[in-house]
């Protein structure tokens, strides 16, 4: 949930570290810091409350020369955002540490260490780690051994970067449950929470596995696995360009990512649909045999990815005629779910590192599922590595904290899954061929839909001063309404709720008055007439309606009813098409309000803690 970077090089590392942090800021941004070992062997440290830009300014005023260093951008879990809780944490001016994750037994360790004479300067769970490493160093262990001894004391999750004054030739890293990569350069090596952080300095990476411990010098990298055996991990070359994570001419990353959706969707479809059918092999060589046995599907995810699952339930039931349940991962993992015979477990995640989703997957592997499938945007993520089957979305890096292109590409992947399951279970060839045709035209359809941007930018004015908004939809569009509400509250801080439109009269109708904007998702489908009656209920009580409707929907714009037209689309892909105006509405309202669109308060992109 935080971002870490480390470097050991022949050249000064402070600027490399800060640039790496800037590229990891999506992981957390309430405080930042770095520690660099000076030529004279002094541990220099700089920490700031606030964003990486503040740290960069402070560094410009007080440069930190040195060729070995570590850095951190934080999303607070234990201890408020403050300078004293910011990383790196140091012990007795000797060694320094950055940490991503949560140490569950920190209270016990803290008590023991306090009794042994350590003084604590923060409220973090992290500080116990550096004191434990310090004690092992003082007992004359080498730095790598000291970190190994320390990790044996820890319960929880961590990715660590550690330096020590007495080991100027060494940067030590370890991971368990939190991601960490090693970047390979020429006579310089790096660590980071994620690949984009290091793209300005290398495109060659080693992905550490859970339990790995690594020792980096300027000329070598050594890795030991959880059993303490020295191992070779494969070196992979990243095809991401340095500017894949740049904002370009857009005002915000979120805006750029909204407009990237036609291309991201096209790439997600590439090689996965044939002339008139979905290519099941896209899910892996054994997938066809697996899909033939599936009698039930469990979809598990968090947040926006969960909303993708809610849409997919409709597709899986109607196209594959298979029982489907959708679960929030943080709840599922603590239940004792009944697993039906021949069930497929599907996890959905942009990052593939979401702690609750990963825990649910790990539980599922013990629970007698027929197989596990990950739908994920990050090829090297834990979720992908730990699932038997994978379908990668190809959204490219998503930097804005509010998920947009990751969501629509998840929908595409889930629709492919529904069709592939349907193929095995009696979906007619005509229906499948029609779906493939519709999918092929989808990128163009999304491009045309984005033309509504200017209208929504103007419409956004009506929401800026509001404290609440209601979103309505029926059928799978209820999930899109939920996603619209999540986007709005997440980046504009306007309270928003979504309801299936038929539920209004069972309570929420009491909220309706002229101050409550009501956003409606109204495609031209079988539920339209029912939806219209629900809208009358709102109108009759003075509610202000903002209806996103298909071109073909007969709905008059009148006093209190604003209708925004989208190009006509096929029912099957309506959830994708109607997602775009939801994203654009949230974006423009937030941009008008001047909130931090890409890094909304209190949030982080990758939720690697429970």
**Would you count residue 268 as binding ligand F6R (CB under 6 A)?**
no
Q: Element (H or E) spanning 214, and its range?
A: strand 213-216
Count CB neighbours of 203 within 10 A. Answer: 18
The distance of closest approach from Cβ of residue 309 to ligand F6R in the complex, given in angstroms and rounded to an integer, is 11
Q: Which two tokens stand for residue 563?
A: 């209708």
**Would you count residue 351 as binding ligand F6R (CB under 6 A)?**
yes
From the list 179, 303, 443, 484, which residue makes contact with ligand F6R (rule: CB under 6 A)?
303
Stretch that binds ligand F6R, among 63-71, 211-219, 346-354, 466-474 (CB under 6 A): 346-354
Per-residue x/- mask for ligand F6R, residues 425 to 454, rule CB under 6 A? ------------------------------
Buried b (16+ CB within 10 A) or exposed e, 300-321: bbbbbbbbbbbbbbbbbeebbe
The residue among 48 and 378 lying less far from ligand F6R, judged by its C-beta, is: 378
Q: Are 5 and 17 in contact (CB under 8 A)?
A: yes
Buried b (16+ CB within 10 A) or exposed e, 511-537: bbeeebbbbbbbbbbebbeebbebbee
Strand partners of residue 222: 215
The residue among 88 and 581 lying less far from ligand F6R, judged by its C-beta, is: 581
Q: Which residue is nearest to ligand F6R (CB)?
A: 303
Stretch that binds ligand F6R, among 88-96, 222-230, 348-356, 592-600 (CB under 6 A): 348-356
DSSP, collapsed to helix, strand or coil, labels residue 112 as helix
Rounded to 5 degrees, what angle do the CA atoms 305, 306, 309 make? 95
In angstroms, rounded to a whole number, what is the distance separating the alpha carbons of residues 125 and 129?
8
Residue with tokens 């629509």: 408
The distance of closest approach from Cβ of residue 588 to ligand F6R in the complex, given in angstroms and rounded to an integer, is 16
**Would you count residue 490 as binding ligand F6R (CB under 6 A)?**
yes
Closest Cα partner for 94 from 60, 22, 149, 143?
143
DSSP, collapsed to helix, strand or coil, labels residue 162 as strand
From the list 31, 124, 151, 305, which residue makes contact with ligand F6R (rule: CB under 6 A)?
305
Q: Which two tokens stand for residue 312?
A: 């997919």
Q: Element (H or E) spanning 263, and its range?
A: helix 261-269
In angstroms, rounded to a whole number, what is the distance separating the alpha carbons of residues 431 and 84?
61
From the list 151, 304, 382, 608, which residue makes contact with ligand F6R (rule: CB under 6 A)?
304
The residue among 352 and 543 lying less far from ligand F6R, judged by its C-beta, is: 352
Measure the N-to-C terminal CA separation of the chain; round to a whole number of Å.
10
The distance of closest approach from Cβ of residue 404 to ligand F6R in the complex, given in angstroms and rounded to an integer, is 8
The residue among 160 and 486 lying less far from ligand F6R, judged by its C-beta, is: 486
Question: Could you check whether the bond before residue 341 is cis, i.e. omega within 30 degrees of 0?
Answer: no
Buried b (16+ CB within 10 A) or exposed e, 446-455: bbebbebbee
In angstroms, rounded to a whole number, what is the distance separating the alpha carbons of residues 514 and 10?
65
The distance of closest approach from Cβ of residue 351 to ligand F6R in the complex, given in angstroms and rounded to an integer, is 3
The residue among 291 and 389 lying less far from ligand F6R, judged by its C-beta, is: 389
Size of the site for ligand F6R (CB under 6 A): 14
In angstroms, rounded to a whole number, what is the distance separating the alpha carbons of residues 258 and 433?
28
Scanning residues 468 to 487, which ones bind ligand F6R (CB under 6 A)?
486
**Would you count residue 178 as binding ligand F6R (CB under 6 A)?**
no
The residue among 371 and 600 lying less far from ligand F6R, judged by its C-beta, is: 600
Q: Element (H or E) spanning 413, and its range?
A: helix 405-424
Catalytic residue list: 2, 605
The distance of closest approach from Cβ of residue 329 to ligand F6R in the complex, given in angstroms and rounded to an integer, is 8
Stretch that binds ligand F6R, among 80-88, 283-291, 296-304, 523-531 (CB under 6 A): 296-304
The residue among 179 and 185 lying less far from ligand F6R, judged by its C-beta, is: 179
From the list 113, 203, 261, 354, which residue makes contact with ligand F6R (rule: CB under 6 A)?
354
The residue among 215 and 490 lying less far from ligand F6R, judged by its C-beta, is: 490
Cα separations (Å) of 283 from 139, 241, 391? 52, 26, 6
From the list 403, 445, 569, 608, which residue makes contact with ligand F6R (rule: CB under 6 A)?
403
**Would you count residue 350 as binding ligand F6R (CB under 6 A)?**
yes
Strand partners of residue 74: 31
The distance of closest approach from Cβ of residue 273 to ligand F6R in the complex, given in angstroms and rounded to an integer, is 24
Stretch that binds ligand F6R, among 13-21, 157-165, 303-311, 498-506 (CB under 6 A): 303-311
> Any idea of the CA torsion for 310, 312, 315, 321, to the nearest 10 degrees?
-90
Stretch that binds ligand F6R, among 128-136, 138-146, 347-355, 387-395 (CB under 6 A): 347-355
From the list 113, 124, 151, 357, which residue makes contact with ligand F6R (rule: CB under 6 A)?
357
Stretch that binds ligand F6R, among 68-76, 130-138, 343-351, 576-584 (CB under 6 A): 343-351
The residue among 167 and 478 lying less far from ligand F6R, judged by its C-beta, is: 478
Q: Are 507 and 609 in contact (CB under 8 A)?
A: no
Stretch that binds ligand F6R, among 28-36, 252-260, 297-305, 496-504 (CB under 6 A): 297-305
In angstroms, rounded to a whole number, what is the distance separating the alpha carbons of residues 189 and 199?
13
The distance of closest approach from Cβ of residue 492 to ligand F6R in the complex, given in angstroms and rounded to an integer, is 13
In angstroms, rounded to a whole number, what is the distance separating the alpha carbons of residues 525 and 502?
15
**Would you count residue 402 as binding ligand F6R (CB under 6 A)?**
yes
From the list 5, 76, 302, 435, which residue makes contact with ligand F6R (rule: CB under 6 A)?
302
The residue among 68 and 597 lying less far from ligand F6R, judged by its C-beta, is: 597
Closest Cα partner for 34 from 67, 59, 11, 12?
59
Q: Report the relative pairing of strands 544-550 and 517-522 from DSSP bridges.
A: parallel
Q: Which two tokens stand for residue 484?
A: 């619209």
- The residues of the shown chain that bind ligand F6R, judged by CB under 6 A, are 302-305, 349-351, 354, 357, 402-403, 486, 490, 607
């Amino acid at each position: 949930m935080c971002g870490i970077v480390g470097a050991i090089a022949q050249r000064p590392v402070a600027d490399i570290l800060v640039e790496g942090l800037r590229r990891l800021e999506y992981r957390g941004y309430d405080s930042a810091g770095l520690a660099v070992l000076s030529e004279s062997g002094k541990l220099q440290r700089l920490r700031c409350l606030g964003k990486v830009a503040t740290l960069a300014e402070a560094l410009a005023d007080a440069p930190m020369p040195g060729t070995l260093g570590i850095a951190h951008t934080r999303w607070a879990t234990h201890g408020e955002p403050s300078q004293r809780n910011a990383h790196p944490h140091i012990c007795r001016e000797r060694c320094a540490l950055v940490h991503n994750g949560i140490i569950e037994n920190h209270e016990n360790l803290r008590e023991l260490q306090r009794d042994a004479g350590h003084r604590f300067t923060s409220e973090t769970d992290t500080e116990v780690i550096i004191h434990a490493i310090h004690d092992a160093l003082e007992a004359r262990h080498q730095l790598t051994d000291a970190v190994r001894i320390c990790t044996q004391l820890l319960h929880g999750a961590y990715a660590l970067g550690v330096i020590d004054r007495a080991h100027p030739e060494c940067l030590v890293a370890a991971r368990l449950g939190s991601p960490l990569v090693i970047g390979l350069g020429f006579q310089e090596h790096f660590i980071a929470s994620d690949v984009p952080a290091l793209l300005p300095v290398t495109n060659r990476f080693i992905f550490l596995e859970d339990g790995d411990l690594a020792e980096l010098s300027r000329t070598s990298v050594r890795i030991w696995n959880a059993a303490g055996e020295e191992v070779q991990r494969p070196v992979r070359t990243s095809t991401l360009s340095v500017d894949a994570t740049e904002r370009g001419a857009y005002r915000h990353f979120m805006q750029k990512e909204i407009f990237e959706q036609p291309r991201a969707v096209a790439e997600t479809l590439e090689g996965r649909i044939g002339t008139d059918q979905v290519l099941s092999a896209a899910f892996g060589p054994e997938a066809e045999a697996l899909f033939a046995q599936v009698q039930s599907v469990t979809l598990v995810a968090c947040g926006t990815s969960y909303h993708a699952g809610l849409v997919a339930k409709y597709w899986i039931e109607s196209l594959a005629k298979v029982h489907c349940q959708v679960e929030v991962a943080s709840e599922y993992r603590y239940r004792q779910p009944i697993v039906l015979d021949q069930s497929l477990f599907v996890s959905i995640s942009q990052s593939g590192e979401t702690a609750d989703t990963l825990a649910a997957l790990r539980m599922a592997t013990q629970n007698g599922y027929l197989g596990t499938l990950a739908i994920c945007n990050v090829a090297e993520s834990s979720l992908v590595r730990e699932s038997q089957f994978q379908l990668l979305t190809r959204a490219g890096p998503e930097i804005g904290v509010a998920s947009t292109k990751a969501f629509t590409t998840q929908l595409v992947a889930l629709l492919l899954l529904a069709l592939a399951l349907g193929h095995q279970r009696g979906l007619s060839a005509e229906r499948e061929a029609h779906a493939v045709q519709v999918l092929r035209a989808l990128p163009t359809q999304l491009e045309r839909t984005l033309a509504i941007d200017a209208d929504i930018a103007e419409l956004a004015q009506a929401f800026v001063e509001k404290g609440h908004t209601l979103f309505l939809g029926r059928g799978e569009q209820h999930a899109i309404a939920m996603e619209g509400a999540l986007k709005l509250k997440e980046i504009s801080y306007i309270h928003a709720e979504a309801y299936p439109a038929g539920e209004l009269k069972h309570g929420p109708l009491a909220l309706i008055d002229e101050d409550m904007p009501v956003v409606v998702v109204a495609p031209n489908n079988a539920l339209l007439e029912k939806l219209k009656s629900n809208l009358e209920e709102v109108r009759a009580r003075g509610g202000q309606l903002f209806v996103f409707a298909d071109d073909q929907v007969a709905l008059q714009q009148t006093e209190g009813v604003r209708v925004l037209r989208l190009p006509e689309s096929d029912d099957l892909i309506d959830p994708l098409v109607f997602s775009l105006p939801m994203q654009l509405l949230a974006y423009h309202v937030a941009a008008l309000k001047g909130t931090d669109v890409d890094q909304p308060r209190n949030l982080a992109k990758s939720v690697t803690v429970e």
